[in-house]
Amino acid sequence: MASSETLTSQGYIKHHLTNLTFGNHPEQGWTFAASGKEAAEMGFWAVHVDTMFFSILLGGLFLWFFKKVADKVTAGEPGGAQNFVEWIVDFVEENVRGSFSGKNPLVAPLALTIFVWVFLMNLMDLVPVDLIPYSFQILATLFGADPHHVFLKVVPTTDPNATFGMSLMVFLLVVYYSIKIKGVGGFVGELTLQPFGKWGLPANLVLEGINLLSKPVSLSLRLFGNLYAGEMIFILIALMYGHNIAVSLGGGLLQLGWAIFHILVITLQAFIFMVLTIVYLDMAHQHH
């Protein structure tokens, strides 16, 4: 929520799209940023606390739930939780078998982790936009903090730092396995000798270099762009509340319709991130 002094549509939107940032300010030292400007002045090493908190919390929830089910797994008639987890595992394994032709025990667990973790982070987009931030502001007030300077973004995948971080880890795995499977010479040859042979080396290097570097960029920006746009629409719909009954009811209907449609978006984006990761790792394992 924006402060009472700046409770305009622009201020409301800007407040919801600002991360809770902790860093070393040139004048104030190590502190939480009170505005987007202060966050920018903290530089590269500033930490988006809300992104870190919710992503780690959801990752821990995923591990806890799957381990709890695994500890109680039975060969007899399975319960609902076991059925649910087995369905997800089978779904991921089917995609790995269909898209990955090599042999690597890391790929299936990695694909499962990516799919569930990204889905859970995306799922936070369905939480009412004011619910958690407003609760957090009340908590901050109890500790004597100014609630108008308390920012909170609850959807980690609307932060490009999170999506780029995940895609860069995938990129490093792609490079690692490319070198491990093909050797340094094979990896360099792949970048310099394809697709035009040794006589087209400069063009080959440019084309293959762009192709390689575009992998983490496309992975991260696709996920970030879709979730950021979805969150923006929820914020715009929230602006409809509080005007009059007709506009508020219209906002409620729009929010319900967009939430139902967005279930498809958040699931599809998690699936695409998983499948592209499998495909990129499969390409890294191809000897040719």
Query: How would you write the pLDDT of the chain (288 residues) with one tens digit per residue?
Result: 444 444 577 888 888 888 889 999 888 889 888 888 888 889 888 999 999 999 999 999 999 999 999 988 887 777 888 899 999 999 999 999 999 988 889 999 999 999 999 999 999 999 888 888 888 778 777 766 666 667 889 999 999 999 999 999 999 999 999 999 888 888 888 888 777 777 777 888 888 888 889 999 999 999 999 999 999 998 888 888 877 788 778 878 888 898 899 999 999 999 999 999 999 999 888 876
Residue 64: the pLDDT is 95
**Beta carbons within 8 Å of 185's beta carbon, 6+ residues apart:** none
Instruction: Return the structure tokens found at 174.
Output: 């792609």
From start to end of 19-113, where are the E strands?
21-25, 29-32, 47-48
Which amino acid is located at 234 in the chain? F
The verdict on whether omega for the bond into residue 156 sits within 30 degrees of 0, i.e. cis, is no
Q: Length of the chain in residues, anyone? A: 288
CA neighbor of 119 nearest in space, from 17, 14, 271, 259: 271
Q: How far is residue 59 from each of residues 22, 87, 228, measured CA to CA in Å?
A: 22, 19, 20
**Beta carbons within 8 Å of 91's beta carbon, 6+ residues apart:** none
Give CA–CA dist 235/232, Å, rounded.
5
Tokens 């009954």 locate to 245
Among the listed residues 55, 178, 220, 226, the single catalytic one is 226
Instruction: Return the structure tokens found at 236.
Output: 């715009």
DSSP letters for 128-185: -TTHHHHHHHHHHHHTT--GGG------GGGSHHHHHHHHHHHHHHHHHHHHHHHHHH
Residue 226 falls in the annotated catalytic set: yes
Asked whether 39 and 46 are in contact (CB, 8 A), the reply is: yes
Tokens 């290097």 locate to 205
Give CA–CA dist 171/265, Å, rounded.
24
Give CA–CA dist 169/63, Å, rounded.
19
Residue 67: the pLDDT is 93
Is 0.85 topped by the overall pTM? Answer: yes
Residue 3: the pLDDT is 41
User: Would the CA dihedral through 124, 130, 133, 135 be positive or negative?
Assistant: negative
CA neighbor of 222 nearest in space, from 260, 283, 268: 268
Which amino acid is located at 161 in the chain? N
Residue 218 falls in the annotated catalytic set: yes
Q: Which residues pair with 146 in a beta bridge?
A: none
Among the listed residues 19, 222, 244, 248, the single catalytic one is 222
User: Would the CA dihedral through 235, 236, 238, 239 be positive or negative?
Assistant: positive
Among the listed residues 35, 218, 220, 248, the single catalytic one is 218
For residue 20, give the 3-state DSSP assignment: coil
What are the domain boundaries of the chain? 9-284
Q: How far is residue 222 from each of residues 99, 197, 265, measured CA to CA in Å?
A: 20, 32, 12
Give CA–CA dist 33/22, Å, rounded.
6
